[in-house]
């Protein structure tokens, strides 16, 4: 049995051309919208990466170094900082380098470093944090957020990196990293923020 075909009418032909054009236009528009919707951050701007030479990293237990463009404090937790008696009794601080997000976890104010007290203080509501980001004064109820750090050599090879674990787990993410031999710089990824762990015990520093 043969199948008989019928030629397209002019109206049908124009309809199919119009439908094909609309489909192509939709695909192009959708692709453009998706392209512009995806965030693209350049190195050296917030949301992107910051490469800090080892010469600019504070020495262990020195005051934290602010990096305003990246909205973080770079801290080198040394033995004195790790053993600070103002830590909560159940808290163990790990020595190494950590990048602390500059925004208070309570209501989003910018906290400040107090050299005389060797701690961070939020001027808005009084929340307090130790140099390693541990919350030690209410009203905040968790530690400061941290950014992911990679220690790299001169060729850009990653020698160590911040662990991205779950908050509240036995081996939580965001811990400070020790810089291996051969480290030339640290790369701070401000697009990867690790939420500070819960810390809602009593105040361990005065008002």
Taking residues 66-90, what's their average pLDDT? 96
Residues 106-157 pLDDT 10s: 999 999 999 999 999 999 999 999 999 999 999 999 999 999 999 999 999 9
Q: Is the pLDDT of residue 94 over 70?
A: yes
What is residue 3's predicted lDDT score, i.e. its pLDDT? 46
Contact at 8 Å (CB) between 65 and 148? no
Average the pLDDT over 92-117 and give the result. Answer: 96
- Average pLDDT in the 163-176 region? 74
Can you read off the two tokens belonging to residue 39? Answer: 């965030």
User: Could you tell me the CA-to-CA distances from 147 to 16, 49, 119 in Å, in that order?
Assistant: 53, 10, 19
The whole-chain average pLDDT of the chain stands at 86
Where residue 32 falls among pLDDT bands split at 50, 70, 90? very low
pLDDT digits (tens, 9 = 90+) for 81-91: 999 999 998 88
User: What are 179-195's pLDDT values in tens digits?
Assistant: 999 999 999 999 999 99
pLDDT at 165: 74
Q: 49-194 adopts what CATH topology?
A: Rieske Iron-sulfur Protein (2.102.10)
Map out the domains of the chain as residue ranges: 49-194
Residue 33 is predicted with a pLDDT of 44
* pLDDT for position 114: 97
C-alpha distances in angstroms, 92 versus 14, 84, 88, 119? 73, 10, 9, 17
SS (H, E, C) the chain: CCCCCCCCCHHHHHHHHHHHHHHHHHHHHHHHHHHHHCCCCCCCCCCCEEEEEHHHCCCCCCCCEEEHHHCEEEEEECHHHHCCCCCCCCCCCCCEEEEEECECCCCCCECEEECCCCEEECCCCCCEECCCCCEEECCCCECCCEEEEEEECCCCCEEEECCCCCCCCCCCCCCCECCCCCCCEEEEEEEEEECCCECCCCCCCCC
- pLDDT for the residue numbered 71: 97
CB atoms within 10 A of CB 108: 9
Closest by CA position to 173, among listed 90, 99, 108, 79: 99
């Amino acid at each position: 049995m043969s199948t008989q075909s019928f030629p397209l009418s002019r109206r049908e032909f124009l309809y199919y051309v119009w439908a094909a054009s609309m489909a192509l236009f939709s695909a192009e528009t959708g692709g453009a919208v998706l392209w512009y919707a995806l965030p693209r951050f350049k190195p050296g701007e917030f949301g992107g990466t910051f490469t800090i030479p080892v010469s600019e990293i504070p020495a262990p237990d020195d005051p934290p170094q602010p990096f305003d463009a990246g909205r973080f404090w770079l801290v080198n937790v040394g033995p004195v900082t790790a053993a600070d008696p103002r830590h909560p009794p159940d808290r163990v601080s790990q020595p190494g380098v950590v990048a602390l997000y500059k925004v208070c976890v309570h209501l989003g104010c910018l906290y400040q470093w107090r050299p005389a007290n060797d701690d961070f203080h939020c001027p808005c509501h009084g929340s307090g944090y130790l140099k390693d980001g541990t919350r030690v004064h209410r009203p905040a109820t968790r530690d400061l957020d941290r950014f992911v750090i990679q220690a790299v050599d001169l060729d850009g090879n990653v020698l160590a990196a911040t662990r991205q674990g779950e908050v509240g787990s036995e081996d939580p993410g965001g811990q400070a990293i020790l810089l291996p031999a051969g480290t030339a710089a640290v790369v701070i990824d401000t697009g990867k923020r690790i939420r500070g762990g819960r810390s809602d015990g009593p105040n361990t520093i005065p008002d």
